[in-house]
Amino acid sequence: MKNNNSLSNLGEFGLIDRISSHVEAGKGVVTGIGDDAAVTSLTAGMQLLTSTDMLLEDVHFRRKWHTPHLLGRKSLAVSVSDIAAMGAIPRWALLCLGIPSGLPLDFLDGFTEGFLAMAAEHGVALIGGDTCYSRSGLVISVTIMAEQYPDLIVRRSGARPGDEIWVTGALGDAALALELLERNNLAGNPLLEARLLDPTPRTAVGRSLAESGLVTAMIDVSDGLLADYGHIAELSGVGGILYPERLPTSAPFREYAAGQPVFPHQLALSGGEDYELAFTAPPENREKINSTVKKHGIEATPVGIVTNSSEVAVLLSDGSRHIPRKPGYNHFT
Ligand code: ADP
Ligand code: MG
């Protein structure tokens, strides 16, 4: 995209044209950007899933940390992750922008490029949105739509006592990267940095697990495993035991966390923004789950057990129970 213009020269409609000129045709899109409403058609027999997320400057992101490209990617990634957690197929997105005065056009170009790259990677078509002026900071709101056959959709409410609790990938990287960024100390760790600034939604794995029928409940880990498993427990009417020593962590995480004065598993247990999947499944499905997940080049690890109690406990191997400082990120506490 060439930048001969400022945003004020371009105006609202110029900007919308600038975004839409890079949008490719998508599956099921009958009418995309440009009309009063978009028109889409679902695959026969499937249901529509819809989810929306807001990202506010200085609440969810800082412009000095995120390049426009990575911010564009992440704005869609967090929504795609919610769809992955339902085992559904992401299809369409709406993008609403509140733009502060003086935001460089280059920033919007980079943002759009990142957003559309993430969209292409996950088969999502941008079909509309809204664009307005913001008096304080950049406001990004993304609505995603997805589809799946009704019987295959995985909810938070299906966990049963005796099921194992699993997580994909590794936990704690994003929270550690955030701590290090806040202390100006992340230099030279691109792996950790990418886990915070450029998360990978587990779309293909989530869908495979759903279609395999092996899992009973699923959620994406956006607020920390303890908090997010807590949502499964609450909606399923169950409790759980999490074994922090079994939580999968990455090599860079272990290297950095070794010198931390805090409870070593605190970040892995309660740190947000990893966008891994946590799910529950009967123990007899272990082997099949491992092979299903491996097909996508990642690992999944059993980290706990669903119980019929009313609480979620954290149990160390010496038999002691650990009460974490805070279960996870919450905007109002
Ligand atoms: P209306 O006034 O009817 O709300 P708009 O002028 O806001 O329509 O939008 C015109 C078209 O551009 C619509 O199809 C809308 O979905 C699309 N659009 C607006 N803003 C964006 C955006 N940030 N990204 C993608 N599409 C957008
Ligand atoms: Mg509008």
Q: If you ran DSSP here, which 8-state letter would residue 57 be given?
A: B
**CA-CA-CA-CA torsion sign (232, 233, 238, 241):** positive
Calpha distance 152→144 (Å, rounded): 19
Reported residue count of the chain is 333
Query: Which of 118, 135, 136, 116 is closest to 59 using CA atoms?
Result: 136
Query: Residue 103 in 3-state DSSP?
Result: coil
Q: 221: which 2 tokens?
A: 């880990």
Which phi and psi angles does 213 have, rounded to 5°? 70, 15
For residues 272 and 329, the answer to whether their CB atoms sit within 8 Å is yes
Cβ of 19 closer than 6 Å to ligand 1, yes or no, is yes
Ligand 2 centroid from CA 95, angstroms: 11
* Per-residue pLDDT, 1: 47
Nearest CA to ligand 1 atom 16: 128
* 142 ligand 1 Cβ < 6 A: no
For the Cβ of 72 lying below 6 angstroms from any atom of ligand 1, the answer is no
Output the pLDDT for position 323.
Answer: 58
- In a 3-state reduction of DSSP, which class is residue 205? helix
The CA 91 to ligand 1 mean position distance, Å, reads: 18
Given the CA of residue 37, which atom of ligand 1 is nearest to it?
14
Residue 123 in contact with residue 90, Cβ under 8 Å?
Answer: yes
Residues of the chain with pLDDT under 70: 1-5, 260-264, 323-333
Beta carbons within 10 angstroms of residue 151's beta carbon = 10
Q: What's the 291 CA to ligand 1 centre distance in angstroms?
A: 44
Measured in Å, residue 73 CA sits from the centre of ligand 2 at 23
What tokens were used for 233?
Answer: 């427990």
Q: Which two tokens stand for residue 128?
A: 């509309």
Residue 116 CB less than 6 A away from ligand 1: no
Place of tokens 């002026």: 133
The pair of structure tokens assigned to 282 is: 């009967």
